[in-house]
Structure 1
């Protein structure tokens, strides 16, 4: 796999001028206020025995997300740990859901609680009931409701993710002052969005997706950004600028500007799915002073794999966020 983008020297200074929509903050303030006003209960049922686990406790969680609709999550905690625990709220990559608790044992093995959030419509346990008016062209989610920010799919999913952080205060054994948001690819883009929309203690966006949409759609030969290019191929006469206008309300670059929590990003310089320049666009605009990029020079979209997880634990420990 060759290098897919600019040189590292060019990337570290890549800071494109991407103005946010004038009503960006008002749009998100209104969206989150409406979701919170919809109410709904946080529920957690103990299901450890179903999964034959002996060192962690597992709760099957439902919390209110977009429009108060229930969103599924797993809550994993090391058995017998002293509480309240720092909690890693984890968002999932594109086309995946929360899966099984046994898919997510790393952070509990390191002593953290972990809330693993299902992705509406992508996982099996959280339907996207309001699939949105407006247009969808390609398979997948990138163009679902793209004709309007109000209808766009990621408005609903990003709202769910913010509400997951809200739910931490109502779940047992967790420290709401030590909430860490994390995820890879789509999960990384959602991590940046949540860090920009609400208060968290730290953010761990790994090879993040959903950043610098226009550049990504123009240069990607693999992955979900191609859904945007395919849509615009058939709507090029009148649809290009309206589509990118909608996407600008969901661009990680704009959320990054508004984020202040310490952040550890990662990037693979041979990533054909999330071009390194799109990752650096968000990183170089990040509002928090404590920001670090872990660079994997020969990595594709897998980034540093398990090595990146170890780097995350070390980084969290250095910032006093170890259990």
Structure 2
């Protein structure tokens, strides 16, 4: 486990990851195919006993036009389009119950919490989005599904769904398309980072201990889940190591970070054995926009938990609660 004494060495780390030469062409073709389906957000009111928040069952077309589910939560007392926050959840989880995750709507945002296809049966509430695409041999879990090829890899579909979530929300009369931010913890942070690199014009971003960053180094540093799935897969398929990492090169957060421009807040726990803090810092160093980093000395994968969310709330308020866009020149000073 790392301590405060290890921070200088941690800050000095730079990843050896090199993105594929056709990274941009791959994602351009992928997203153009998805855009054959109109980005509409279909909303069905959900009856709850909440008095300050309205909840809608939200559905939009993702990769292949497949239906992707989420919850859209809105402050009940509102007028006109709202600044919006699109949130992605942790590995194995789902969108949960309608009355959960009320933070962002309570703070005055249109809040779209997006399912991750095929997940939602492990913890913290169920999901409602199937993945109709099959895969070849994979280790139990999600990380290695379709990993034989970049075109069949599950996160191609997941990241495309996430981009389409922002595009669909921007068509809604409830959201101001010029005031949209993305956020998420762990897998959700990795998905948000991909969106930040693929979607222009985002106003802000928040990544808590993002998964899928500096992937090969992460697999060397930790044996914890979900990276244990990748280790187990390659332990059984020793002839697939280089091909597997060629596939993963198209999905590494470091490549998306380099293309992102929205002001961003990163966080990591020095005791995180799930997404090692060095991998979050690797993404931070590659990030193309204004950025801040918070390292939490005695925290693990929670990356500061609610205290870190307080930082994000304050940052988002400064950037999203104005109707006209003024680029924010956030300090790049590091914090620990």
Q: What is aligned with 2:43?
A: 44
Equivalent positions of 1:140-219 (< 5 A) are: 140-199=141-200, 200-219=202-221
In the alignment, the residues of structure 2 paired with residue 4 and residue 25 of structure 1 have an alpha-carbon distance, to the nearest angstrom, of 38
Counterpart of 1:313 in structure 2 is 313
Match of 2:109 among 94, 97, 112: 112
Q: Which moved more, 1:311-320 or 1:115-124?
A: 311-320
2:62 corresponding residue in structure 1? 65
Q: What are the Cα deviations for residues 150-198 of structure 1, in whole angstroms up to 9, with x where unaligned?
A: 0000000000000000001222311110110000000000010000001
Farther-moved stretch of structure 1 (38-47 vs 213-222): 38-47
Backbone CA RMSD of aligned residues: 1.6
Q: Deviations over 1:76-117 (max 9, x none)?
A: 011112321111100010001101122110111111110000
* Residue of structure 2 equivalent to 1:20: 19
Whole-angstrom CA distance in 1 between matches of 2:322 and 2:72: 18
TM-score by length of 1: 0.94
Question: Which residue of 2 is the match for residue 125 of structure 1?
Answer: 128
Change in 2 beyond 3 A, CA 1:40/1:113: closer
In the superposition, relative to structure 1, how do residues 75 and 244 fare at CA in structure 2: closer, same or farther (>3 Å)? same
- The reply to whether residue 87 of structure 1 matches residue 88 of structure 2 is no
Q: CA deviation at 1:6?
A: 8.9
Counterparts of 2:14 and 2:266, CA distance in 1:
16
1:29 corresponds to 2:28: yes
In the aligned structure 2, how far is the partner of 1:304 from the partner of 1:249?
29
| Number of residues of Structure 1 aligned to a counterpart in Structure 2 | 316
Q: CA deviation at 1:4?
A: 8.2
For residues 172 and 5 of structure 2, the distance between their equivalents in structure 1, rounded to whole angstroms, comes to 44
C-alpha contact 2:39 2:168 (8 A) present in aligned 1: no
Secondary structure of 2:293's counterpart equals: strand
Q: Which runs of 5+ in 1 are unaligned?
A: none
1:41 deviates by: 4.2
Give me the TM-score of the superposition, normalised by structure 2.
Answer: 0.90
Q: Classify the secondary structure of the residue corresponding to 2:87.
A: strand
Task: Find the aligned partners of 1:322 and 1:222 in 2 and give their Cα distance.
Answer: 42
> For the Cα contact (< 8 Å) 1:44–1:171, is it kept in 2?
no
**Do the aligned partners of 2:117 and 2:129 also contact (CA within 8 Å) in 1?**
yes
Unmatched 5+ stretches in structure 2: 121-126, 324-336
